[in-house]
A and B are shown apart, each in its own frame.
Chain A
Amino acid sequence: MAEETIKFKLNGKAVTLSTDGDRKLLWVLRTDFELTGTKYGCGEGLCGACTVLVEGDAVRSCQTSMKDVEGKNIVTIEGLSMNDQLHPLQKAFAAHDALQCGYCTSGMIMNAYSLLSKNLDPSVSDIVRGMDDNICRCGAHKRIIEAVQSAAKEMKGGMKP
């Protein structure tokens, strides 16, 4: 294992970490940084529970090596709410009951964030297409779509993403 010094921005703060560059971001977030909101569901890029933002794009942290995040800006579910203010997506997920067990929720919200950052006026089929690779066993899909739609409306109305 070759230790590297890796610098990146995590939830708005500059951080430096000495670790093996081949380690996956998911485990570094969950252990080294104790940010456990990002979940493991499959480890192979198939479920989306581990989704975080790298440079504003939704990526699967279980598939992302640490050496590839050098100098990048990473946001996790913990970094989405500002000064205790929930992000419109978080509010909408809660208000629409867009979760049951809540295990897929962080990944869903982060993926939706990336989706809305590119399209604040998504149709239902845009949402379905954009969210399709995030899976949920509890069957919260219907309300997740509703939540994303309503968050989009609020964000379009001026709320900063």
Chain B
Amino acid sequence: MTTDEVTGLDFMEHSFSNTLPRRDFLKLAGGGILLFFTVGDLDLLAQQRRGLPTDFNAFLKIGEDGRVVCYTGKIEMGQGIITSLRQMLAEELDVALESVDIVMGDTDLCPWDMGTFGSMSTRIFGPALRKAGAEARAVMLELASEYLKTPIDSLTVENGVVYDKSNKQNRIAYAILAKGKKIERRAAGSVSVKKPSEFKIIGKSLTRRDAKEKVTGKAKFTSDIRISGMLYAKIVRPPAHDSKLVSVDVSEAKNMKNVQVIQEGDFIAVLHQYPDVAEEALSKIKVQFEKPELDLNEINIFDHLLKVAPEGKVVTKGGDIQKGESESAAMAEHTYLDGYKAHAAIEPHAALVHIEGNKANVWASTQNPFTAKEEVAKALGFSSEHVRMMPVFVGGGFGGKTTNLQIIDAARLAKLTGKPVQVAYTRKEEFFFDSFRPAAVVKIKSGIDSKGKMNLWDYHVYFAGSRGAEQFYDIPHHRTTAYNASWTGAAGTHPFATGAWRAPSNNTNTFARESQIDIMAAKAGIDPIEFRIQNLADKRMQNVLRSAAKQFGWKPAKAPSGRGFGVACGIDAGTLVATIVEVKVNKNTGEVKVIRLVCAQDMGLVVNPEGAKIQMEGCLTMGLGYALKEDVRFTGKEILDVNFDTYEIPRFSWLPKIETIIIDNQESDPQGGGEPAIVTVGAVVANAIFDAVGVRVYQQPMTPERVKEALKKG
């Protein structure tokens, strides 16, 4: 894993004071056995948490009632970790799954966490949790050994009960061992976890832990929280970012019954006990803004980006580019473009802030509650231990809920009104304040030798970010250069905020790389799967590719074969993925219909196979959006797509037949699952279009217009 994957988000800006000191955790946690442990690379953690104690950032408790509770600052937003984390803990502790609870995202109960993103919950938190579970089991064995006066070696555990192997009557439950105790241990990391052959719970498919709440409408998302006396706020928003307020007249809104108007400079809000009435009051405010002049739109943005690009930094290189060029039998040079994409979670950002005295309770749709807590404290002038983020369900994040502007608005208004205040974005605000996936440009020059072996790879990525930019083929002369290695740019780069979007950088990088690889395969006159396998040194990736090909029933043929088949590989968050697709292209309308998607993944140890498949399906379905339709249109700093009528996301009628395969690789550490499969979708579609009609689209999304244009050019 590169640092880029871990430190991707901009949480360094905030100086964390601290979460609760350990003794307060203990008070809250009650009696029982507590095990504190550390998640992640200690050195990295120390860097990220400047000034914070790094001796633990998660803990688990075996309570006097025998229940096992793990406290973590991670959140559940649909990815299913609430289920898989329980499985890991129950497995290592040898307790029934039903006796395990995961308490998430409550900043008073849970120790600090940097946020839920980057597919880190399973691959980084998971192993730490398993070790902690194993260690807690060892503690229980120690206690049981004393109690039963039996050496540890003679003991075993089943369903939270410790037995003497030779005399099953000689036994004691975890609950009884924990009774009246207050034992605090610091994990030493010395106890080894179970071997895959010993697994009883890991590797089993389980349905979602939170399904019942969600199918009955009982699950509470932020905007569902109601507290007495609360007000719903609507805020005057400019038509474009960085607009200047010219004039405002709030008199009509002020005259509305029970409507409260707050005006603090440019910050103008109306509040009412009903959100719809507040919305109506907002519409009564007469306001004029001056939009900033900026001649940028979704068409000319790419020229602009190339113009403002900072100097490139070489990410990796090997061999000699010039030699590669002179030794290549055939070369190709292409430029790939990708427009801005919205996160467009169906739950818009929302927050509720309730201030009592010098304390604030906050409910918010956020992927990083601990960052939000600091932000709220700062906005209110409170010390951070007086701000508590409450746990709520989050209705989809995809990276978009790492910005917390709505929480600050709510905090500000709660302070100004003295009432609990909810700020929930309208869809239009959601589009306006989104931290979009950045528009980006990739330029590639590549070459093959006379035998069809890849010989040259000169890759330049502008503004997508470097995650997934490194190619993984066996190419003697290669260089990867990133011009702005992150998904945010310096001022003057993007007309509005950009940020991490499900598998950040990698969707754009994989689209470009795998398109170009296909171009070389066609030049070599070799079947695109065969070509990839010939040029891959990595046996694991070869295996993933072969598994997908087998499931698909791939018959080798050089492209374009007219069949509309496409293939692409990718690596994201430690997971290897290969996808094969079948498309139909309507030559008259340019419409591309995806018929079938087969996706194979090697993601190391899989805790909940069905859960992992759901994530793959989600990735593949969501990916169709950026591949085919999604492109944020704008003029200067004004966003023109403000709802789902013009910003189209995948729907049922787009749905291809989806088949997912998970490679059995239990011996390796678990890798990311919530993001990898999405990275291949653009490239497979591009390659399948080429295979179908013999022309290539070099820009995402591959809209009917772009396909038609490519057909016209021939």
Contact A140 B214 (CB under 8 A): no
What's the minimum C-beta distance from A42 to chain B, rounded to whole angstroms?
Answer: 5
**Minimum CB–CB distance for B457 against chain A, Å:** 32
Q: In whole angstroms, what is the CA distance A71 to B620 when docked? A: 45
| Contact (Cβ within 8 A) A39 B643 | no
Whether, in the assembled complex, A12 has its beta carbon less than 8 Å from a beta carbon of chain B, the answer is no
Interface size on B, residues (CB 8 A): 60
Determine the main DSSP class of A at the interface with B.
loop
Residue A103 at the chain B interface, CB threshold 8 Å: yes
Min Cβ gap B221→A in Å is: 6
Contact assessment for B346 and A41 in the assembled complex, using a CB-CB cutoff below 8 Å? yes
Asked whether, in the complex, the Cβ of B78 is within 8 Å of the Cβ of A40, the reply is no
Q: Are A40 and B618 within 8 A (Cβ)? A: no
A97, B614: Cβ atoms under 8 Å? yes
B275 touches A27 (CB 8 A): yes
Q: Is A131 an interface residue when CB atoms closer than 8 A count as contact?
A: yes
Min C-beta distance of B671 to chain A, whole Å: 19
**Contact at A101–B393, with CB atoms within 8 Å?**
yes
B346 A90 Cβ-Cβ under 8 A: no
Within A63-122, the residues touching B (CB, 8 Å) are 76-78, 80-81, 86, 89-91, 93-95, 97, 99-106, 109
Q: Does A23 contact B (CB under 8 A)?
A: yes
Tell whether, in the assembled complex, residue B427 and residue A43 are in contact, meaning their CB atoms are under 8 Å apart.
Answer: yes
Which residues of chain B have C-beta atoms less than 8 A from A129's C-beta? 653
- By a CB distance below 8 angstroms, the chain B residues around A49 are 346
Within 8 Å CB of B611, what residues of A?
A: 97
Closest to A32 in B: B274
Question: Among the listed B274, B621, B653, which residue makes an inter-chain contact with A23, where contact means beta carbons less than 8 Å apart?
Answer: B274
Cβ of B645 under 8 Å from chain A: yes
Q: Is the CB of A103 within 8 A of B221?
A: yes
> Which residue of chain B has its CB nearest to the CB of A102?
B214
Pair B216/A37 contact, Cβ less than 8 Å: yes
In the complex, what residue of chain A is closest to B76 when comparing beta carbons? A101
Q: Which residues of chain A have C-beta atoms less than 8 A from B452's C-beta?
A: none
The answer to the question of B593 belonging to the interface, with a C-beta cut-off of 8 Å to chain A, is no
0/1 interface trace, chain B 608-638, chain A, CB 8 Å (1 if under): 0011001001111110000000000000000
- Say yes or no for B224: interface residue by CB 8 A criterion: yes
Asked if A58 is at the interface of the complex by the 8 Å CB criterion, the answer is no
Q: Are A94 and B215 in contact (CB under 8 A)?
A: yes
* B643-656 Cβ-contact flags toward A at 8 Å (1 or 0): 11100011111010
Residues of B within 8 A of A105 (CB): 214-215
Compute how far the CA of A142 lies from the CA of B617 in the bound complex, rounded to whole angstroms: 8
Residues of A contacting B212 in the complex (Cβ-Cβ under 8 angstroms): 86, 94
Interface pair A128/B610, CB less than 8 Å apart: no
Interface residue from B214, B224, B617 paired with A99 (Cβ < 8 Å): B214
Stretch at the interface among B56-64, B94-102, B115-123, B203-211: B203-211
Contact partners of B226 in chain A: CB under 8 A: 31, 34, 36
Partner of A44, one of B257, B643, B651, B655: B643
Chain A residues with Cβ below 8 Å from B276 are 23-24, 26-27
On whether the beta carbons of A43 and B426 are closer than 8 Å, the reply is yes
Partner of B346, one of A23, A31, A32, A135: A135
Is B644 a contact partner of A40 (Cβ separation < 8 A)?
no
Cβ-defined contact, B396 with A40, below 8 A: no
Report chain B residues within 8 Å CB of A26: 276
Given A23-B274, A46-B645, A137-B396, A40 and B215 contact (CB-CB distance below 8 Å): no
Asked, given contacts A41-B347, A100-B78, whether A135 binds B211 with beta carbons under 8 Å apart, the answer is no
> Closest approach, in angstroms, between the C-beta of A156 and any C-beta of chain B?
20
Interface size for A (C-beta < 8 A) is 62
**Does A35 make an interface contact (CB < 8 A)?**
yes
> Which residues on the B side are within 8 Å of A104 (C-beta)?
346
The number of inter-chain residue pairs (CB within 8 angstroms) is 180
Q: Are B211 and A94 in contact (CB under 8 A)?
A: yes
Q: Which residues of chain A come closer than 8 Å to B649, judged between CB atoms? A: 135, 137
- B610, A97: Cβ atoms closer than 8 Å: yes
Q: Which residues of B lie under 8 Å from residue A102 when comparing CB positions?
A: 78, 210-211, 213-215, 219, 393, 395
A100 to B220, CA, bound (A): 14
Closest to A48 in B: B346
State the Cβ distance, A55 to closest chain B Cβ, in Å: 20
**B658 interface contact, C-beta 8 A:** yes
| In contact, B658 and A142 (Cβ under 8 angstroms) | yes
Residues of B within 8 A of A4 (CB): none
Residues on B with C-beta less than 8 A from A24 are 276
A43–B642 Cα gap in the complex (Å)?
A: 11
> What residues of chain B lie closer than 8 Å to A35, measured between beta carbons?
217
**Shortest distance in angstroms between B44's beta carbon and chain A's nearest beta carbon?**
29
Asked if residues A101 and B395 are in contact (CB atoms below 8 Å), the reply is yes
Contact indicator A101/B621 (Cβ below 8 Å): no
Interface residues of A in 4-47 (CB under 8 A from B): 23-24, 26-27, 30-32, 34-44, 46-47
Q: Mark A139-150, 1 if CB is under 8 A from B, else 0.
A: 111111100000
Q: Tell whether, in the assembled complex, residue A93 and residue B211 are in contact, meaning their CB atoms are under 8 Å apart.
A: yes
Q: Which residues of A contact B427 (CB under 8 A)?
A: 41-44, 46-47
| Given A24-B276, A31-B273, A141-B652, residue A99 in contact with residue B395 (CB < 8 A) | no
**Are A139 and B645 interface neighbours, CB within 8 A?**
no
Residues of A within 8 A of B643 (CB): 42, 44, 46
Q: Is B376 positioned at the interface, with any CB of A under 8 Å from its CB?
A: no
Among A32, A44, A76, A103, the residue within 8 A (CB) of B345 is: A103
Q: Mark B344-385, 1 if CB is under 8 A from A, else 0.
A: 111110000000000000000000000000000000000000
Q: Please, which residues of chain B bring their CB within 8 A of the CB of A99?
A: 78, 208, 211, 214-215
> Within the assembled complex, what's the spacing in Å between the Cα atoms of A76 and B224?
15
Q: Is the CB of A1 within 8 A of B274?
A: no
Let me know if A159 is at the binding interface, CB within 8 A: no
A23–B620 alpha-carbon span in the complex (Å): 39
Q: Tell me the smallest distance from the CB of B52 to a CB of chain A, in Å.
A: 30
CB distance from B531 to the nearest CB of A (A): 30
A139 near B620: Cβ-Cβ < 8 Å: yes
Once bound together, how far apart are the Cα atoms of A40 and B427, in whole Å? 9
Q: Is the CB of B395 within 8 A of A40?
A: no
Determine whether A136 belongs to the interface, using a CB cutoff of 8 Å to chain B: yes
A143 touches B424 (CB 8 A): no
**Which of B78, B344, B346 has the most A CB atoms < 10 Å from its CB?**
B346
Known: A31-B274, A41-B427, A103-B346. A143 touches B395 (CB 8 A): no
Whose C-beta in chain A lies nearest to the C-beta of B343?
A: A137
Which single residue of chain B is at the shortest CB-CB distance from A136?
Answer: B346
Indicate the member of A42, A76, A80 with the most B CB atoms within 10 Å: A42
Mind listing 7 A-B residue pairs with CB under 8 Å? A36-B224, A37-B217, A49-B346, A86-B216, A99-B78, A105-B215, A106-B217
The 5 lowest CB-CB distance pairs between A and B, nearest first, are: A37-B217, A103-B395, A101-B78, A139-B621, A102-B214
Interface residues of A (CB under 8 A from B): 1, 23-24, 26-27, 30-32, 34-44, 46-47, 49, 76-78, 80-81, 86, 89-91, 93-95, 97, 99-106, 109, 127-129, 131-145
Instruction: Enumerate chain B interface residues (CB-CB to A < 8 A).
Output: 77-80, 207-208, 210-221, 223-224, 226, 256-257, 273-277, 344-348, 393-396, 398, 424, 426-427, 610-611, 614, 617-622, 643-645, 649-653, 655, 658
